Amino acid sequence: MAKILLINPIIREEDKPKHIPYGLSLMAAIAMEKGHEVQFYDANAWRLGYDVIEEVATADDWDVIGIGGLTTAYSSIKKIVGICKKVSPKSFIIAGGGFITSMPLDIMNWLKEIDLGVIGEAFLTWPEILEKIDRKDFDFSECLGVCYRDEEGNPVLTDVRPNIADLDILPYPAWDLLPMEIYFENSQLLYSESAYLAKRRIDVNGSLGCSLVCKYCWHLGIIGDMTVEKNENGVKDVRFSYGRNIRYHSPRYIVDMVKTLVEKYNIDFVSFIDENMMTMDAASGRKWLFELCDLWIAEGLQPTSRRDGVPDSENKGGVFWGGTSHATLHTEEVLKAMFKAGCSHLVYGIESFDPTILKNLGKGSTQKNNLEAVPKCLSTGIIPLPNIIIGFPEESFDSIRTTIECMIKIGMYSRPHFATPYPGSEWYYTYKNAILEQYNGDLEAYIEDLGDASKITAVISHNFSPVELLGLQEIVAKRDLRLLEHTIAYYESIGRVKMAPENPYVLPNATFNIIKKKVTTPISEVVSI
């Protein structure tokens, strides 16, 4: 069987490691279930520098070195695959995850060290690849869901791999391969009292994807949104659409996993890393979250403070949790059920209060929804964590003013993120020419520059420059209407009352990679991994 080394790259070096490599540890579990030998080096948790990568890569004769992650880990991935190919040239290097699925041809052209890319959902592709490598069969031209190299070394995409139908056929992540104590040391989150008091917090993913079509978001094939077709040059490339395969774990699967985590690691808090728990609940006909909460309580996971009706600071046992919500799709009934079961906080992507921006965003919420969401959530006992974004394509002084006024109205503070065209999002493809313009034609430089959206990178606002957005970020964070009006008065004094509606610096462009309609890719008939 294959001898495999999996490496988790460094993510956000400026921040402590707080979240386990969920997808990569799931790949480790799948490989081990097939009988392969797997070792895991978590470079993000250990933070021992890149010199150690060389030691790890030469510690054994690895048949496969696997790596994966989001685009924000690209710089680290680039360094790691370079080291691995140099010191372990016989190892077959496989990359997967969002960073390569969003732009497989670009990544394979930039990183010649990668022998094979896994594109889209990897649950079935990964074990098939390992089986072929075991047989010394390196012809991947008939393997769905990969980007292989032809005889000249050029990347070639195969057709899309269908999604699995039932997420419950997946094993639990291979937690025992991870340095769990490092993650437990960083359990505290400044989100709520119980999240801050957490001593052994862990991530759990209850679903894949989301039903919404927010233009800043990406799903990258894990929700049936990806096809592979020939582009205008006759080369196969990825296309993303509004297609959706809604899938979530059963409440039984989730609760049994959490009970296992309590038994193995004595955890006291779960961070649900689902894209949006409320959209999954809506897709279930309003059953999923109620059933999850009922089972959470029935199986003894409910915090005693919630059971006894006392402050959470008096909790003597049980597992708190937090996740994601949606201003339009939550209800008072489900929020109360979630609070009773131990939910302490929910992240809300409010994004803006401007009606025009919300209408164009694809999020499905209105100003009224957003105004009601925060107090409604708070009234049930759950702490709402609202996110705000500025720098939308149609952002204006009027939309900024509206957002600040609404924040003041409901007593909300938020330091806004910047609208960022991440690869795989509709914004990325629509503004790709503008990104190239702002990075002197060097697309890889932009990818290497991406971190979280609190940093300004490529601007897609038609009206504001980077320096103006940095100033507006401070004004919104401080809810300072006086400074905003003073700024508007200044621009009026120099004749810039109305911004240019078609700023050539950020002109949108037609794109092959986005299909603006529902084109859902198939579901696999496989019933076990």
**Residue 446: partners with Cβ closer than 8 Å, 6 or more residues away:** 435, 436, 438, 439, 457, 458
pLDDT of residue 234: 96
Q: In this structure, are residues 187 and 303 in contact, taking their beta carbons and an 8 Å threshold? A: no
- Domain residues for the domain of 114 are 3-173
Does residue 268 lie in a domain region? no
Does residue 47 lie in a domain region? yes
pTM of this structure: 0.96
Match 């508007």 to its residue by tokens.
488
Task: Give me the phi and psi of 277, to 5 degrees please.
Answer: -65, -30
Q: In this structure, are residues 134 and 1 in contact, taking their beta carbons and an 8 Å threshold? A: yes
Q: In this structure, are residues 372 and 327 in contact, taking their beta carbons and an 8 Å threshold? A: yes
Output DSSP code: residue 128. H
Give the bridge partners for 324, in sequence order: 347
pLDDT of residue 496: 74
pLDDT of residue 502: 61
Distance CA 413, CA 390 (A): 14
User: Cα dist. 483→392, 462, 468, 472 in Å?
Assistant: 20, 22, 13, 9
Please report, for the domain that includes residue 41, its CATH number: 3.40.50.280
Domain-terminating residue out of 148, 173, 198:
173
CA triple 491-493-494, angle to 5 deg: 70
Domain-terminating residue out of 173, 188, 210:
173
Does residue 360 lie in a domain region? no
Does residue 297 lie in a domain region? no
User: Cα dist. 445→69, 110, 220, 435, 442 in Å?
Assistant: 18, 11, 22, 10, 5
Give the bridge partners for 203, in sequence order: 271
User: Cα dist. 289→276, 292, 454 in Å?
Assistant: 12, 5, 31
Domain-terminating residue out of 155, 173, 191:
173
Helices then strands, each counted (H, E), the chain: 22, 18
Q: In this structure, are residues 156 and 230 in contact, taking their beta carbons and an 8 Å threshold? A: no
pLDDT of residue 6: 98
Give the bridge partners for 320, in sequence order: 269
Does residue 211 lie in a domain region? no
Distance CA 207, CA 284 (A): 12
Please state the domain count of the chain. 2
Does residue 119 lie in a domain region? yes
Query: Per DSSP, which regions of 205-306 are E strands?
Result: 207-208, 226-230, 236-241, 247-248, 269-272
**Residue 5: partners with Cβ closer than 8 Å, 6 or more residues away:** 38, 39, 40, 41, 56, 57, 59, 60, 62, 64, 65, 66, 91
Among residues 112, 109, 115, the alpha carbon closest in space to that of 94 is found at 115
Among residues 351, 329, 343, 342, the alpha carbon closest in space to that of 407 is found at 351
Q: In this structure, are residues 262 and 250 in contact, taking their beta carbons and an 8 Å threshold? A: no
Per run of 10 residues, the mean pLDDT along the chain (length 529 residues) is: 96 92 98 98 97 97 97 97 98 98 98 98 98 97 98 97 97 98 97 94 96 93 95 96 96 98 98 97 97 98 97 94 97 98 98 97 95 97 97 95 98 97 96 96 97 93 93 98 96 74 78 94 92
pLDDT of residue 14: 85
Pairing relationship of beta strands 226-230 and 236-241 according to DSSP bridges: antiparallel
Query: What Rg value do the Cα atoms of the chain yield, rounded?
Result: 23
Distance CA 271, CA 258 (A): 11
**Residue 10: partners with Cβ closer than 8 Å, 6 or more residues away:** 43, 44, 47, 73, 76
Among residues 17, 218, 4, 14, the alpha carbon closest in space to that of 100 is found at 218
Environment class of residue 433 by beta-carbon count within 10 Å: exposed (0-12), middle (13-18) or buried (19+)?
A: middle
pLDDT of residue 61: 97
- The count of other CB atoms within 10 Å of the CB of residue 361 is 24
**Largest Cα–Cα distance of the chain, in whole Å?**
74
